[in-house]
Structure 1
Amino acid sequence: MARRALIMVEGGSNMLRYVQAARHLGLHPITLAADPIRYEYLPTENNEAIRVDTNSLDALIHECSRLSAAYDIAGITSATELTYATVGKLCRHFDLPGPNPTSIERCCDKFVQRQLLAEAGIPIPAYRLASDATEVERCAAEIGLPVVLKPAVGIGSIGVRLCRNAGELAEHTNYLLGGEHIWRSSPRILVEEFAQGPHYWAEIMGDEILLIGTSDFGPPPYFVYHQWSFPAPLSDAEHQRISDVSLSCLRALGLGWGPTNIEFRWTNRGPVVIEVNPRLGGAPGPEIVQAACGVDLFTEHIKLVIGDELNLCRSHPQTGAARFLVADRDGILDWIDGVSRAAAIPGVVEVKLNVEPKTPIIRKGDYRDWIGYIIAVSANRALTETILQRAVNLISWSITSIPARGEHEQICASPRTNAG
């Protein structure tokens, strides 16, 4: 009898968890990637990986057909939205459960997504599309400063910035169009009204809203997360309003199969949709969910992919939160200390570092600025916050700044400055 395999197309921040969940379900995970070497976890997990042009649907069909001679392909999926539409096409070709590729493609183009949401009457920020500096300036004048500039297609807040005045607008426009930003297609900039208010996110599987959390950001003009918390402190009426808007988004975009992550700002208009992502939220969102309510989103997504029955029942409802560790300067990370002591605090679920000592730190103003994160859970929000802060206070690090003239300045930053 052929071994059941799960095909994973490319990787992402969540890929390791998908691989581990697949193994737990008795599946043999196989990664198809244009450059498998870039995924450091593959050798350590002894995961089978095959080099293939993942931009070519024909190449992927050929490779999956070849693999089907040796394996029973139970399902095909991906941890990143960049290849998720292609995964949908592969699933249709091989008659396997999967997302609607047209819906995914429309959703991943933020301008098209905005159009579809607006047509459905869903509250969104005012927006315009620009392709050059003159159009950016005109669009910003029509909307009124401050505005948010972002690539029409992109992930992880890469290239996203709040522009509060004409100088910041010109500076970020030059950055996006001047060759520093890497475009996956022709340059198209979304110019948006800055929707001001508390930030919330909804995690959805199929058409079931699993939870609504809240987020805090670091200082502007960038949108680098400082903390995620679950559940969000909402009244029943506020929770219902976000839930209703979430389900309207699914209908407007033709989603409703598999995971969806939706971001909101609560403004004087109520919940305004900032972005709809046709995937699980990035790490450590799913990890908070599992720690706080016992639902393993990676396992449940794979069960959906292979046609098994889902189990989204919460086994132990608690409150959970993650604090991000973010460097306050560029340089070389000399050392980081206190991780084991922080991890030993009761209620701390995980302390994860994204970088090792002697790693260059070059801040980008997006998720790549995270040195790591801490997750804590408890019976209530106040206690979770206390546990989290205790853990943060135990962690410190040193960054050697490298000034332009060659002088090296050793700076030992306090944990409160870096992370809290």
Structure 2
Amino acid sequence: MLPKALILLEGIKMGTGQLYVRAAKLLGLHPIVLSADPARYNYLATENVEAIRVDTDDLDALIRECLRLRETYDIVGITGFPVPGEAVYATVAKLCRHFGLPGPNPTSIDQCCDKFIQRQLLAEAGVPVPVYRMATNAAEVERAVAEIGLPVILKPVVGNGSSGVRLCRDAGELAEHTIGLLGGTYTWQTSPTILVEEFAEGPYFVADIMGDRVIGIGAGEFGPPPHFVYREYTYPARLTDEQQAKIVDASLSCLRALDLDWGPTNIEFRWTERGPVVIEVNPRLAGSPDPQLVQLAYGIDLVTEHIKVVIGDECDLRKRHSQTASARFLVPDRAGTLDRIDGADQAAGVPGVAEVTWYIKPPTPIIMKGDCRDCIGHVIAASPTPTQTSAILQRAVDSITWSITPFPSIDDRNDPLPAPTPVDWAPELGKGG
């Protein structure tokens, strides 16, 4: 009998990627990574994972590689994690459909990849979304803003991790970011198309879903505007029963509107005067550290349960305990060369700390990008109460210091809108934006 293999397609990186590999092995599966550049993923060697170089943008090449592997393995499932956008997960859906394996609907994933189409489908279904317009040039941006009114959010129609996403509060910020997006300093995955939308002000929440079941709702905080760099995540969010019910109801409405009836979904909200307003629907599992937080808060291993769904097994989504779990992202306040990190061991030794993870190692140049790639690590803590968890997390973070030497030349200072090139150390926050 051939050994059972799980194919992991491009983009499953450090953090979540390691969780998938370890979970697959515990389920008796042989994980195989297909990647355009396996050398980018350091954990592959650490975990002794079979990796094959293949053009992951070429569906036919992937089909041929899977056919070759089927001579040696019984391929029982295929999944992946999108970096920098959702295109990889759309490819996963098409591969699953081709081989008759469990997987998401390719059409549904493609619709979610385009933020404008996603907005249209949600709005047509009566799901609350920000007022929005699409623009392909500066004149269209100006017209959209005149209709919506400042402040607005400008974001690429295709992309994630808050790359290219800015809050524009006045005409100066609007002009600067429009030029940045359309003037050649931003590298587009598709033809330049901008989503212009109202700024939905209010607390930020995220719902983690498997199938048609909302597993948990977390609360998030960001660093200072105009960027949207994650600062902290906490599960479960402190919600009233009414807020909880409205977010769950809105989440299920999103699934129906977008025809997402299989596997994991991650939905971002802002709680406004209208109640929950949908910011983004991501048709996949959120990246690290969300799975770790959900497991600490509820006792549900989303990675393992996702793999079970992928291979056609029955998953177990029962909550086993109730704790408060929080992650604090470590973000430098300046560009330069990261020379050293101190106190990581002391932070890890604080009772209640579950994880201290670094995405980079000194010495490493740091260029502030204004998106999730500004994060250089995170600390996770959990305890029975929100107050206790907050105190544990703060004690751990306070014990960590680092040193950054400024770049020698003004020409090497922060690039306000860098190209969204994926790098191995980038965090897998996996949200939209």
Same fold (TM over 0.5): yes
- Identify if the C-alpha distance between structure 1 residues 75 and 405 changes in structure 2 by more than 3 Å, giving closer, same or farther: closer
The structure with higher relative contact order (CA 8 Å, sep 6+) is 2
1:43 maps to 45
In 2, Cα distance between the equivalents of 1:397 and 1:147? 35
2:36 maps to 34
- CA offset digits 1:144-165 (Å, max 9, x no partner): 0100000000011111000011
In 2, Cα distance between the equivalents of 1:11 and 1:109? 19
In 1, Cα distance between the equivalents of 2:397 and 2:101? 45
- CA offset digits 1:17-64 (Å, max 9, x no partner): 111111111111111111212222222221111111211211111111
In 1, Cα distance between the equivalents of 2:122 and 2:297? 31
- CA offset digits 1:90-112 (Å, max 9, x no partner): 11111110000000000111000
1:82 Cα shift?
A: 2.5
1:2 maps to 2
1:151 maps to 156
Residue 184 of structure 1 is aligned with which of 161, 186, 189? 189
- CA offset digits 1:365-419 (Å, max 9, x no partner): 1110011000000001111001100101100111101242699xxxxxxxxxxxx
- Identify if the C-alpha distance between structure 1 residues 168 and 97 changes in structure 2 by more than 3 Å, giving closer, same or farther: same
CA contact (8 A) 1:18 1:79 kept: no
In 2, Cα distance between the equivalents of 1:46 and 1:158? 32
In 1, Cα distance between the equivalents of 2:305 and 2:107? 23
Residue 289 of structure 1 is aligned with which of 288, 294, 318? 294
1:22 maps to 24
In 2, Cα distance between the equivalents of 1:389 and 1:317? 21
Given the alignment of the two structures, is residue 343 of structure 1 paired with residue 335 of structure 2, yes or no?
no
In 1, Cα distance between the equivalents of 2:184 and 2:26? 44
SS of corresponding position for 2:87: coil
CA contact (8 A) 1:129 1:189 kept: yes
Given the alignment of the two structures, is residue 11 of structure 1 paired with residue 11 of structure 2, yes or no?
yes
Given the alignment of the two structures, is residue 208 of structure 1 paired with residue 181 of structure 2, yes or no?
no
TM-score, length basis structure 2 = 0.92
Structure 2 unmatched ranges of 5 or more: 413-433
1:417 maps to none
Residue 87 of structure 1 is aligned with which of 77, 87, 92? 92
SS of corresponding position for 1:255: coil
1:329 maps to 334
SS of corresponding position for 1:232: coil
1:384 maps to 389
Amino acid at match of 2:318: C
In 2, Cα distance between the equivalents of 1:159 and 1:228? 22
Given the alignment of the two structures, is residue 360 of structure 1 paired with residue 360 of structure 2, yes or no?
no
CA RMSD in angstroms, aligned pairs only: 1.4
In 2, Cα distance between the equivalents of 1:17 and 1:97? 21
Amino acid at match of 2:400: I
CA contact (8 A) 1:211 1:231 kept: yes
Residue 76 of structure 1 is aligned with which of 72, 75, 78? 78
1:117 maps to 122
In 1, Cα distance between the equivalents of 2:410 and 2:259? 55
Alignment of 1:160-175 (within 5 A): 160-175=165-180
In 2, Cα distance between the equivalents of 1:403 and 1:146? 36
Structure 1 unmatched ranges of 5 or more: 408-420
SS of corresponding position for 1:308: coil
- % same residue: 64
1:230 maps to 235
- CA offset digits 1:99-158 (Å, max 9, x no partner): 000000001110000000000000000000001111111111111010000000001111
TM-score, length basis structure 1 = 0.95
Q: Give aligned pairs, total.
A: 408
